[in-house]
Each structure stands twice: as structure tokens, then as C-alpha cells.
Chain A
Amino acid sequence: MKLAPIRYAAPATMDEAIALLGSCDAKVMSGGQSLMPIMAFRLATPELIVDLKKIPGLDQIVIDDQGVRLGAKVRWCDIESDGRLAQANPLLAEAIKHVAHYQIRNRGTVGGSVAHADPASEMPAIAACCEAVISVIGSKGARKIKAVDFFISALQTSLEADEVITEVLLPAWPAGRRWGFQEFARRRGDFALAGIAAFYDLDGQGCAANAHIAVFGASDRQHRLPGAEAALNGRPVTPETIAAAASAASAEVDPPSDIHAPGEYRRALVETLTERALAHAAK
């Protein structure tokens, strides 16, 4: 479990970092919490590691009328300790409590998690649920990518090899929005066997509107569940509506089987967790 021979660079500017990334088979390192174990197992053997640690900025949580802007180097512990998020995006604050363990939350970063795109991770689930806009920069300049276009498959994104994530914007969170977050893992901090991030607003008649329900851990990527959302929109949020939405959710996932759980279990779990997330939202 020793790394293969590797070169390491910690450039001081983003321009240098981008140039290095274009120069060879290189990989960006942020917190290193996923990349280092993968390299220790020699499952990834890049020629060069480009560590972002000396690049200034990228580590702020900015809350403005656009929403919550998470710098790519914002760590999970920064999110946990930011009291403003209870108002600005309580769904994010709740989700990040479930990320791994204390030590990992002290190093793992927003940009690293989004770029790694593990299908069972919380941050991509929040990005998918909230329709995040992901800002990236590379040799061809800066661009913004919608979450729905960003996550392609397990560990695959639309990020180019020489692009670096700079910011994840979660659009503004209106007061009165109802939300719920549920995940189930074998032990606290383990990867989710399945999870649901959900919110909706209430229209003038007290019915659900603008429902956003995203699933993680039960597909090859984090994505919204339009069938479940449709079952909720325009209806009063009763136990019957919730049950219908949960049933729709389980019908529109086709989870894979692995050593931790068969697909049929995950499908049932999606129904249970959707029901619980929406019940929390309706409370």
C-alpha cells in the first residue's frame, strides 16, 4: 500500500496549476481524502499530483442574494461550523453532518467531493437537488456547468482534465421552504446504501410546489426523481401524497447490487427514505 512513483507540485497560482494539469497525466489534489487511498491501492497512478493547497482563496463560504457560494477548498468542518447555513441552506447543513468521520471532515473539501463524484456522496446529492451551478476554470477559460450536466456516471463528470473547480453555487433558499434529508449507512460515516435529499415550497393553497427530490447511493450518479416530484407538486402534503411520492421514487430507480446490499434492498430503502424525508419536511 505504498504509492507508485509519482511527481508532486504545489503551485502558488491557478494559472500554474492549469498549465501543470495540461502537461502530462496529472491529477488535482484538494483534501486528498479519496485520492490518497486510491493511489495507495495503486488503483490510480497519475504521473503528477497538483496540490491546490498554496493557491490563495477558494476557501470562503459567501452568502448573498444569489444563494450560498462554496469555494472549492471549503472543508466539511467549515460548513458544520457556519451558523448562517441554518437559514441559508439547512439541507446542506444537515447533509454534511453525515459525511464520513471527524478527521475526514477536517480535510475533505467541497470541490474534491464534487470532482470525485462518488455516487454515494452527500455533496453531489445536494448539488443535484438544489440545481447547483459549478464554476470551473481551465486552459480554455472559465465556464459554469449545471449540476445536471456535470455528473455523468460513477466517478465521471464533465470536467476536462485540465479544469479545476473553483466554486459551487447553491441558488437562494426562500424562507418557509420545507426540506428533509435521509441517508442510511451500515455505520455512522460509511458510504450511504441509499439517501434522499428533498425540498419543496408551499403555494397559496398550502400545496407543494417546486418539489426537488434527489437520490444518492442508489444509482450510478446523484440525480433528481421527476416522478416523485410530480406526485408531490400541486397536492397537499398528506401521508397519502407522501406515500405516493415515495412509491414513485422507488419505481424510478434501478439500483445496482454490490457486496453491501442487493439492488432490491436499495430500491425499498429509497421508498422508506423518501417517505421519511418528506415526513420530516411536512412536520
Chain B
Amino acid sequence: MNTRPGNSLIGSPVERVEDLRFLRGKGTYVSDFSLPNQLHAVILRSPEAHGVIRRIDTSRARALPGVHAVITAADFGARPPHIPLRLQPLPELAPFHQPVLAFEKVRYVGEPLAVVLADTASIAEDALELIDVEIAALPAVTDRASAERGDSILFEPHGSNRALVWTATRGDAEAAFVKADVVLKERFHIQRHAAMFMEPRGFVADWNAETQRLKVWGAAKVAWTNRRILATAMGLEETAIDMVELDVGGGFGSRGEFYPEDFLIPAAARIAGRPVKWSEDRREHLMCANHARDIEINVEMALAKDGRILGLRGMCYSDNGAYLRTNGSVGPRNVAQFMSGPYKIENIHLQTTMLTTNKTPSGTYRGPGRFETDFARERLIDLAAKKLGMDRAEIRRKNLVADADMPYPLATIQPFESVTELDSGDYHAVFDRCLKEFGWDEKSALQGKLIDGRYHGIAVGSFIEGGAAGPKEDARLALETDGSLTVHLGSSAVGQGLETIMAQIAADSMEMSFDRIRVLHGSTTHVTEGYGSYHSRSTVMGGSAILLAAEKLKDKIRECAAARLGCSKDDVTIDAETVRFKTTSLTFAGLGAEPIEVEATFYNKKYTYAYGTQAAHVSVDVGTGHVRVHDYLSVEDVGRMINPLTLHGQAIGSIVQGLGGTFLEHLVYDANGQILTGSLADYLMPTASDFPNIRSITLELKPSPNNPLGAKGAGEGGIIPVGGIIANAVANALSHLGVEPMELPLSPPRVWALIDAARRAKR
């Protein structure tokens, strides 16, 4: 393990180097980027949820002045390219891959049917209205009941709307339930919502016919993987494509996955022989970018009468939408594998059935599967405490995994087997710290109290946050001839302050000053291969790669210096950007005629698990069903912090997103598969004034043993337990009525309906 000499920047609250650029309006997002002579693309999208495509006639659209081309599936031969899975690429999921343009059938409202290329986006939108589309409508599948009924099937050759079943197992669940003193059985539902990052997607693509090279601006998250998919679909060598990452306004798992437009825009540029630009608008975004959550969780919890949780078993139903997208399995499988969370639950048999429906396909969104599964688990624990007459804090203490049990294996998931273990942590210490900082004992007096027309309640719960997915990440360091350091990295920035963090790590590992470091990342031109930013992996993976590269670079610097100073490289010392041998010294700037370059790769198979405890104090207005958050506290141990300032911002932001998913955000469909939330006036996001009372404390108790930094993937996790904790606090506030929320969102009408039903039942 690295001993981290000269550590001064890692762990310091360094202000983001990106901010000055952004605050001055100097950022370059993809919409800010244009090429001379470019055409604008607009996409015709299916107005029907389910149907057979009879005819697409583009002749009237083509005749509109200013329109250059209208591209349909017919332009890509007998069968248009289909988008493969990036994660869990099981062959049995191949029937559900999405074609880049609807092929034979449409399966959701918003599915691409054609691409119009015109001089302006306005003209292209005018042309959309001139394309004649004939679709023979089929009954829409919009929920579990209609999916299972099977009278309307999205993929007829498959024979049903059930795509796959995931199974998580550990121990002997059946035996545990036989032994149990108490069994709870409940049904939970987490509504469809989405990442809704602030900057919609977009691309500019340029095809050079002479060199047969393609350049695409607007890459994000996983540029190398997407280049591979694009190269295959376009029949090009990977190296014939450059993917360029510009500034990125948020990702949260959704942005940067390979969508139909990731193919359509580059392909359009090749067909048109001119650069093509596409900017997604918010209405498109709402029906085209990955949706998430939307899962029904039927679960039983077995307990001993002393409060020990003996087992979990159940079946979950994930509404995956119309196709299996690149990472569409992650959420459903995580619900099964991570339901035990930070608790020592030895016996598990949990399954998730993925259903196809006529809705927008789903994918990952911050805390995929974890937000959902934590809702069910934390609710169950509170319900169990109530049934057993136990204190809600005590039952959690009793079940948290102990430090001595580390590493602690979680349930194993099948198919595409994944085995993982909790790496390190003092879960009890963080739990107690949270209660203390929250003022649990003092606030306990508020439980169920009516103050100024509102009933008050509190809740606490714990969570784990997986991070640092392998297999590897590359870093290339170049000591430039002027003595500055350029860091080329496979990680990608999605607004998380990557440049700052990586410069801190590079500066410390090279013992250089921060302002001498330049970080280049995310574009395929920087390193041979990169894996990007997902699963809270950038800091651990990219940062560790920098540490390894720095050791190699220092070695190479000593070598160069030894040649210049006429000594052995082992006699050269490096200190403050200067190399020394006895009394002779050279600065980095004067070291070589050429830049000194090294590349290193950090490999990792084991995940990191940051963990934490959160507590909430809410009040409920029984007249309106409105829930106010008076205090929300998160205490998390991330092993090692690189930048407390940026991490704090991410922790708060993550909780706000969790509160959005708990109270506001809901993608609503009708029985015909029409999406009813087509704008941000109907899809409600948290705004700056909605949740002012959030606190976050980050600790460095137990470094991860799985990487040289000791860091754990962090910043994503705050969102994970929010739904469960808030629902428990609401139940606590309304305990006199016996209200028990089992579904999200906790919108005022839903909370009021629970109150109303409870009052009627009491009458």
C-alpha cells in the first residue's frame, strides 16, 4: 500500500477549478459547439405506444425548402443496427435489444422513427409534421397486470412479456422462515422516475470522407465503450472514430449510455456528407432518456423475537419499458442483491422478474435498485420493530454488520453471477454518531406530537453504497518540457468536479503544486482505453491509476536526471519539482528536450462499500397531506476523502434528489401508454427552496483495503435510503392513525388518501 508521502492536497477542501469557467459562462456544452456548414437533426418519434408500422412516407417532408434528407430504417438495409448491452450482456436478453430506428413495430411513445436533416432545427420540426406515418395500433402493455396477462406481447417470438428472472441467494431462506418467530409480508412500489440531468443530451458529428474518419462531440460517461458499439454499427475500425467529451451538465447514470441518437447522428453525418448537430429538448428527454425505478417489491422478512433478522425472501417485478437498454438490468438485479444492505441477514432468496412494457426503456439512475430496495427494507424494519414492541434504533443496532465480521459476503446474484462482499466499516459507530448529531433522544419527544396543526415524526436508517467497478482504468502522465504535468485519464466528467479531484491526487503523488497540473479526460484521444464514470468509480479507479502512473513517472524522471547529472538513478532525489544529486539540482522545467511520458493501469475486481446512517424529522399537515422536512442528516464513512468540499456538495445534492424521488418526481402513463408528464410543469423536480434543512457529515473511519488510496466510491450514496427513512418518519408522525405508506411518491394526495382511509377505518 502506498504510504502517501507529502500528502497535503488530498483531504483538503480545494475549490473546484471548473467553477470559474462555469460561473463566467465560459463552459462549452455540446449545444455551445457548432461546426461550419452543419445541418440540424430533429427526430420523428412514435406517437403510438404499441403498433405495427404500415408505412412511413417522407416525400412531403423532403419537398420542404431547407430540408436536406429524411432518414428512415430503410436507409440501414434489411435490419437496422440494434444496441447491445454494456452491462450483464446475457445472450438471452438479445431479443430485447433496441433498434436504432423503430423496426417493423413501435413499442413506446417517443421511439425514433425517422431523422430529418435541415438548415435549421425549426425547419426540421416543420418537416416532422409533413411525414405521413401509418401505424396499426396494438393494445398497450402498461403495468404488471397487463404484462402478465399476455394478451398483448411486445416481442411475439419470445412468447411473453417476461424478459428474465434474477435470483439472489445466500444461506437457506426456507429454513430461516421455518425457524422464525415473526414473519412480515408486504408489498411495496416505487414509482417510475428518472435522473433528469440539467443539460439535455446532444451531439455534433463530423464525417471526413477523404480520411474515412468520424469525430463525435458530446461523449460522456463511457466514451470508449460507446466508440466500440458505434464502430461496429457503422462498420468502422474503432480507431477511425474520435469521441470528444465537452463540458457535461449532469449524468447520474443516465447520460452517456448508448442511445439510438448515439448512432443516428454520426450515421446522418456520413449520409449527408456534412456535419450534423442534434440538441435534445426537454420534452424529448422526458420520453427518450432512460427512465428508472418503477418496481413492485413483494417481500417477506423473518425475525427472531429478540429482533434478529433471520431471512428475506420474495419476488419483485421490474417494469423495464419497451427494450433492454445498455444497463437496464442493473436496477432490477440490485434490488435483489442489495436488499440486505448493511444488515447481517444470513438467509436470502430474492428474485426480480424483468417485464417488458410499452413505456420508455429504463436504465440506471443514482443508487440504481438501492433506493428501491432500501425503501422496502427500512420500512420492513420499522414495521418489525412495531410488531415486536422494540425500539427502532435498537433493532437496527442488533442487526448491523459488525466490524469483526468484515469482509462480509452479500447474496450472490444469478445469472451473470456476481459475488461481492462488504469491504470494511464500523457500521455501529456511524449509526451512533448519526443519532447523536441528529439529537435522536431529544427529538424522540416529538413523535406523534401535534404542533401548530402538524404531526411530527422521526426516523433513522442505514445504507451501503457500492463503488469502484472494475475491471481497470488508465492514466497517462506527461511531464511537459516547461515542467508542468499533464494528466490524461480514462475517467469522464459528468459535473462531479473530476478535474479538481484528479489534480489533487496528481499534485500530491508527484509532490507538485496544484496549478502546475492539467487534467485531460473522457475523450478517446487521451488514453488507449478508458472505462469512464459509473458505479461511483472515477475517484477510486482513475485516482489509483494516477498513483501508479506517478510512481512510474518518478522512476523515469530519476532515470533522465541520472543521465544528466552523471549518477545512478537511485541516487537522485525528487523534491519540490526539482531533482537533486548531492549539491547539483535541476528543475522539472529544464529536465528534458521531450516530454517524459508514462502510462499505467489500475486493475480492480473488488468493490468498495461506503456506508452511512441518515435520520429525518418531518411534520405532516393532515388537512393537505403535505410533508415538511424539518431536519435531514446524513453521516457517511467514505474511507478516505479526496475533497471534503466537493463531496459535501454531492452528498447534499444526492439527498435532494432522493427527496425529489420521495415526494415529487413521477413519470405518469395512461392505459394507452401515452406519457402524461411531458414537461417540467408536470414532472416536478425539487427546486432550491423546497428542502432547505439538509445536513451531511462525512467521516474517514475505515479506509478501503481494495485500493492504494483507501478511498471508497462516494457522493452517489446519499440518495439511497431517503425514501424509506422519510416514509418511516411519516408513519411515525401519523402513528395515532396507523398510517403505513407502502408506495412512493409521498405526494400530498397520496398522504391525504392514507390519512382519510385510516380515519374512515377508525369510525
Which of these, A41, A186, A189, contacts B283 with CB under 8 Å? A41
B749 surroundings in chain A (CB, below 8 A): 193, 260-262, 265
Please tell me if the beta carbons of A2 and B122 are within 8 angstroms of each other in the complex: yes
Asked whether A142 is an interface residue with its Cβ less than 8 Å from the other chain, the reply is: no
Nearest to B42 among chain A residues (CB) is: A2
Q: For the complex formed, measure the closest distance between the CB of A155 and the CB atoms of chain B, giving whole angstroms.
A: 15
Q: Are B281 and A1 in contact (CB under 8 A)?
A: yes
Smallest Cβ distance from B691 to chain A, in angstroms? 10
The answer to whether A193 and B748 touch across the interface, beta carbons within 8 angstroms, is yes
Contacts of B756 in A (CB 8 A): 268
Max chain A Cβ within 10 angstroms of own Cβ: one of B623, B681, B686: B623
Residues of the A chain whose Cβ atoms lie less than 8 Å from the Cβ of B75: none
User: Chain A contacts of B689 at CB under 8 A?
Assistant: 188
Contact with B along A263-282 (1 / 0, CB 8 A): 00100110010011000000
Q: In residues 578-594 of chain B, which contact A (Cβ within 8 Å)?
A: none
A190 at the interface (CB under 8 A from B): yes
A 1-30 contacts with B by CB, 8 A: 1-5
A69 → B minimal CB distance (Å): 32
* Cβ contact of A265, chosen from B125, B668, B684, B752, cutoff 8 A: B752
Query: Is B172's beta carbon under 8 Å from chain A?
Result: no
**Alpha-carbon gap, A265 to B626, bound state (A):** 12
B359 to chain A, nearest CB (A): 15
Interface string of B608-637 (1 = CB under 8 A from A): 000000000000000111100000000000
CB 8 Å contact bits of B652-692 with A (1 = contact, 0 = none): 00000000000010001000000011010110101101100
A175 beta carbon closer than 8 Å to chain B:
no
* A265–B756 CA distance with the chains assembled, in angstroms: 10
Residues of B within 8 A of A189 (CB): 687
For the complex, is B121 an interface residue (Cβ under 8 Å from A)?
yes
- Nearest CB to that of B622 among chain A residues? A272
Do residues B664 and A259 form an inter-chain contact, with CB atoms below 8 A?
Answer: no
- In the complex, whether B753 has a CB less than 8 A from a CB of chain A is yes
Q: Does A187 contact B (CB under 8 A)?
A: yes
B753 contact set on A, CB distance < 8 A:
262, 265
Q: Once bound together, how far apart are the Cα atoms of A2 and B283, in whole Å?
A: 12
Tell me, yes or no, whether A184 is within 8 Å of chain B by CB. Answer: yes
Interface check B274, CB cutoff 8 A: no
B126 in contact with A5 (CB, 8 Å): yes
Interface flag for B695 (CB, 8 Å): no
Given the complex of chains A and B, what is the CA–CA distance between A260 and B683 in angstroms?
A: 10
Nearest-CB residue, chain B, relative to A4? B126
In this assembly, does B747 line the interface, its C-beta being within 8 Å of a C-beta of chain A? Answer: yes
B687 with A187: CB separation less than 8 A: yes
Among A42, A187, A193, point to the contact of B690 (Cβ < 8 A): A187
Docked CA distance A272–B624 (Å): 7
Query: At the interface, yes or no: B282 with Cβ under 8 Å from chain A?
Result: yes
**A3 and B687 form a contact (CB under 8 A):** no
Flag if A187 contacts B664 (CB, 8 Å).
yes
- Minimum CB–CB distance from A282 to chain B (whole Å) comes to 16
Cβ of A228 to closest chain B Cβ, rounded Å: 17
Chain A's interface: helix, strand, loop or mixed, by majority? loop
- The count of chain B contact residues (Cβ–Cβ below 8 Å) is 29
Chain A residues with CB under 8 Å of B686's CB are 187
Instruction: Output the least CB separation between A134 and chain B (Å).
Output: 26
- Please measure, in the bound complex, the distance between the C-alpha atom of A189 and the C-alpha atom of B749, giving whole angstroms: 18
Across-interface contacts of B664 in A (CB, < 8 A): 186-187
By the criterion CB–CB under 8 Å, are B624 and A188 in contact? no
With a cutoff of 8 Å between Cβ atoms, the chain A residues found around residue B747 in the complex are 186, 260
State in angstroms the CA–CA spacing of A1 and B280 once bound together: 10
Within 8 A of A (CB), among B409-451: none
Q: A184 near B684 (CB under 8 angstroms)? A: no
| Structural contact, B684 and A1, CB atoms closer than 8 A | no
How far is it, in angstroms, between the C-alpha of A276 and the C-alpha of B676 when the chains are bound?
Answer: 32
Q: Tell me, in angstroms, the Cα distance from A189 to B624 when the chains sit together.
A: 17
Report Cα–Cα, A193/B756, bound state, in Å: 18
Looking at the assembled complex, report how far the CB atom of B288 sits from the nearest CB atom of chain A, in whole angstroms.
13
Known interface pairs A1-B281, A1-B283, A187-B664; A268-B752 also in contact (CB < 8 Å): yes
Taking a contact as CB atoms under 8 Å apart, the answer to whether A272 and B623 are in contact is yes
Tell whether, in the assembled complex, residue B281 and residue A186 are in contact, meaning their CB atoms are under 8 Å apart. no
Cβ < 8 Å to B, chain A residues 71-96: none
CB under 8 Å from chain B, chain A span 198-244: none
Q: How far is the CB of B621 from chain A (nearest CB, A)?
A: 9
User: Whole-angstrom distance from the CB of A40 to the nearest CB of chain B?
Assistant: 9
Q: Say whether A269 contacts B684, CB under 8 Å.
A: no
Q: How far is the CB of A273 from chain B (nearest CB, A)?
A: 8
Tell me which residues across on chain B come within 8 A of A2, comparing CB atoms: 121-122, 125
CA gap between A265 and B755 in the complex, in Å: 11
Which A-chain residue is minimally distant from B281 (CB atoms)?
A: A1
> What chain A residues lie within 8 Å of B752 (beta carbons)?
265, 268
How many angstroms from the CA of A260 to the CA of B752 in the assembled complex?
A: 13
Q: How far is the CB of A121 from chain B (nearest CB, A)?
A: 13
A262 to B747 Cα, complex, angstroms: 12
Cα-based distance from A3 to B126 in the complex (angstroms):
9
Residue of B nearest to A5 (CB): B126
CB-CB nearest in chain B for A265: B749
Give Cα A4 to B623, complex, Å. Answer: 44
Contacts of B748 in A (CB 8 A): 184, 186, 193, 261, 265
Give Cα distance in the complex from A90 to B676, angstroms: 37
B666: nearest residue on chain A (CB-CB)?
Answer: A259
Q: Is the beta-carbon distance between B122 and A259 smaller than 8 angstroms?
A: no
Q: What's the least CB distance linking B575 to chain A, in Å? A: 54
CB distance from A97 to the nearest CB of B (A): 13
Instruction: Specify which chain B residues have a CB less than 8 angstroms from the CB of A261 in the assembled complex.
Output: 748-749
Closest A residue, CB atoms, query B755: A268
Query: In this complex, what residue of A is CB-closest to B621?
Result: A272
CB-CB nearest in chain B for A3: B122
A33–chain B nearest beta-carbon distance, Å? 12
A270 CB to nearest B CB, Å: 11
A259 with B676: CB separation less than 8 A: yes
Q: Report B-chain residues with C-beta under 8 Å of the C-beta of A188.
A: 687, 689-690
Q: Name B624's closest neighbour in chain A (CB-CB).
A: A184
Contact residues in A for B624 (Cβ distance below 8 Å): 184, 269, 272
How far does the alpha carbon of A41 sit from the alpha carbon of B286 in the complex, in Å? 14
Given the interface contacts A265-B753, A272-B623, does A259 sit within 8 Å of B682 by beta carbon? yes
Most chain B CB within 10 A, of A4, A187, A190, A262, is at A187
- A268 vs B751: C-alpha distance when bound (angstroms): 13
**Residue in A closest to B685 when the chains form the complex, CB atoms:** A187
Closest chain-B Cβ to A262's Cβ sits at a distance in Å of 6
Provide the bound-state CA to CA distance between A268 and B623, in Å: 8
Give bound CA distance, A184 to B125, whole Å: 37
| Contacts known (A41-B283, A269-B624); A186 close to B684, Cβ less than 8 A | yes
How many angstroms between the C-alpha atoms of A230 and B353 in the bound complex? 58
A169 CA to B175 CA in the complex, in Å?
77
Give the Cβ gap from B282 to chain A, nearest Cβ, in Å. 7
Contacts of B690 in A (CB 8 A): 187-188
In the complex, chain A residues 162-200 whose Cβ is within 8 Å of any chain B Cβ: 184, 186-191, 193
On chain B, the residues within 8 Å of A269 by CB distance are 623-624
Given contacts A262-B749, A265-B753, A269-B624, contact A190 B126 (CB under 8 A): no
Q: Mark B706-740, 1 if CB is under 8 A from A, else 0.
A: 00000000000000000000000000000000000
Would you give 23 A-B contacts (Cβ < 8 Å), ordered by A?
A1-B125, A1-B281, A3-B122, A5-B122, A5-B126, A184-B624, A184-B626, A184-B748, A186-B684, A186-B747, A187-B690, A188-B690, A189-B687, A190-B681, A259-B668, A259-B676, A259-B682, A261-B749, A265-B749, A265-B753, A268-B752, A269-B624, A272-B623
| CB-CB nearest 8 A-B residue pairs | A272-B623, A2-B122, A265-B749, A1-B281, A261-B749, A259-B668, A2-B125, A259-B676
Tell me the A residues contacting B by CB distance below 8 Å: 1-5, 37, 41-42, 184, 186-191, 193, 259-262, 265, 268-269, 272, 275-276
Q: A1-B282, A193-B749 are in contact. List 10 more A-B contacts (CB 8 A).
A: A4-B126, A42-B125, A184-B624, A184-B748, A187-B664, A187-B686, A260-B749, A261-B749, A265-B753, A276-B623
Binding site for A on B (CB under 8 A): 121-122, 125-126, 281-283, 623-626, 664, 668, 676-677, 679, 681-682, 684, 686-687, 689-690, 747-749, 752-753, 756
